[in-house]
Amino acid sequence: MSDHLLPIPWIDVVLIVALIAVNGLLAMSELAIVSSREARLKAMAKRGSSGARTALELGSDPGRFLSTVQSGITLIGIIAGAFSGAVLGEPVAQRLQLLFGIKDELAHSLGFGLVIVVTTFVSLVIGEIVPKQLALRSPEPIAVIAARPLLWLARITAPFVWLLNSTSSLIFKLIGLDRESRNHVTAEELHLVVAEAQTAGVLEESERAIISGIVRLADRPVREVMTPRIDVDWIDIAASPDQIRRVLLDTPHSRIPVADGSIDNIVGVIQSRDLLAAKLKRQPLDLKRLCRAAPVIPDLMDAMDALVVLRAADVPLALVHDEYGHLEGIVTPGSILAALAGTFAHDVEHGEEPPIVERDDGSFLVSGAASADVLVDRLGMLLPGDRDYSTVAGFALSVLKHIPVCGEKFKHDGWTFEIVDLDGRKIDKLILTPPRRRNAADAAER
């Protein structure tokens, strides 16, 4: 080791830092374009952003784009590592030998190793971690700025990039995989995004519930949102004026099915305002003349398709039939709105109880007629994805495999279900005890 200390080449240090900074810009640009949402970039492109159009162009060919960026990052990493060791290794080794009195060969090895470790650390922080975190915070604006320089880089390195891209394509073919990703957003992913937005404070709980309901509505058959036939108010076509008056006073609904002797023989739907208009004009209350035809839809039709039918109908009420032609229930715009927004106070006043009520002891009183989605949305319970039931009562029957008796219990996903009320053979009310509370109760009994 020479007695004369070599000076620290600060110009070379600045050059190394500059290389690491360029590496960071490439890493940030890569992640920004990859993580940018296509819809946002398209919206920016429509507003005249040429950078957004370039970003979309780069994103449409990920193989070429990634080959360009990775070749630049790899080349810069190699140059920065080798250059830092060559220009800084000896000066650092001399200072280690001077400070600690170690041998020449050991000092040289330690100096070179220390330079590589420090360079690698700075490269990770400045060249990878910080730029990628910045890219995740604002991917679209960064992508718009970085797209054009990356396009120039891709054109400059086109031959080398073609070689890398062709080689990677060959490897994918050899292992039998499709290199193009099928990045389709699923309904479950949308629910997770909405839940994350609520956790972050972007959405309120009520907004999250409505958005989740809208996403799920297209996948729900109309039988899950309809009013079942046993709960349908109807009026006989031969009813007298006094009977019509009593029905109107007893029902909270403005549209009532009209049947000929039995609810299975519905001939149309009467609107209370038509009856009121006839009464004010002193006309006879002729239900046959006043009732309107209602569309008939299958019980497996999607709820969103049912909404389209209701929009086009003469009266916004549809009769839901099963595959054998039997009446299963009715569906109205109010039924679909309740599936999205929940039970309204007006409905509660007229005897329709809320689907779920939290009790003082932490357990939940749940209606058997409530949608099974309540268990997922409100209680965070796991239910099978391919279920063939639509209500909480249907879920209970799918687990028990028989008609239960009052007081019967079963467990699912750590929750304890207890049948507390039956309406004939229909499960009317259940009490659900959460896992933690159940464990505390068992401990108290012991």
Compute the radius of gyration of the chain from its Cα atoms.
35
| pLDDT single digits (tens) 3-24 | 566 677 778 788 888 888 888 8
Query: Which helix (H) or strand (E) segment is 426 a member of?
Result: strand 426-433
DSSP reduced 3-state for 363? coil
Q: Residue 366: how many CB atoms within 10 A of its CB?
A: 25
The contacts of residue 28 (CB under 8 Å, 6+ apart) are 131, 132, 134, 135, 142, 146
C-alpha to C-alpha distance for 175 and 311, rounded to whole angstroms: 52
**79 alpha carbon, distance to own chain's centre:** 44
What does the pLDDT read at residue 6? 66
Q: Residue 176: how many CB atoms within 10 A of its CB?
A: 6
Give 10-residue mean pLDDT values along the chain (446 residues): 63 84 87 83 86 83 73 80 76 76 78 82 85 86 87 79 78 74 59 69 72 74 85 89 87 89 90 88 86 91 89 91 90 83 52 76 87 78 75 89 91 90 88 70 44
C-alpha to C-alpha distance for 189 and 211, rounded to whole angstroms: 13
427, β-bridge pairs: 422
What does the pLDDT read at residue 327? 92
Quote the pTM value: 0.53
**Where in the chain are the domains?**
10-174, 187-217, 222-345, 353-445
What does the pLDDT read at residue 319? 94
Which phi and psi (to 5°) does residue 276 adopt? -65, -40
DSSP reduced 3-state for 423? strand
Q: What is the DSSP string of 378-422?
A: TT-----TT----BHHHHHHHHH-S---TT-EEEETTEEEEEEEE
- Give the CATH number of domain 353-445: 3.30.465.10
222-345 CATH pick, 3.10.580.10, 3.40.50.300, 3.40.50.2000, 3.40.605.10: 3.10.580.10
Residue 434, both tokens: 């959460």
Q: Is the dihedral of CA 395, 401, 402, 405 positive or negative?
A: negative
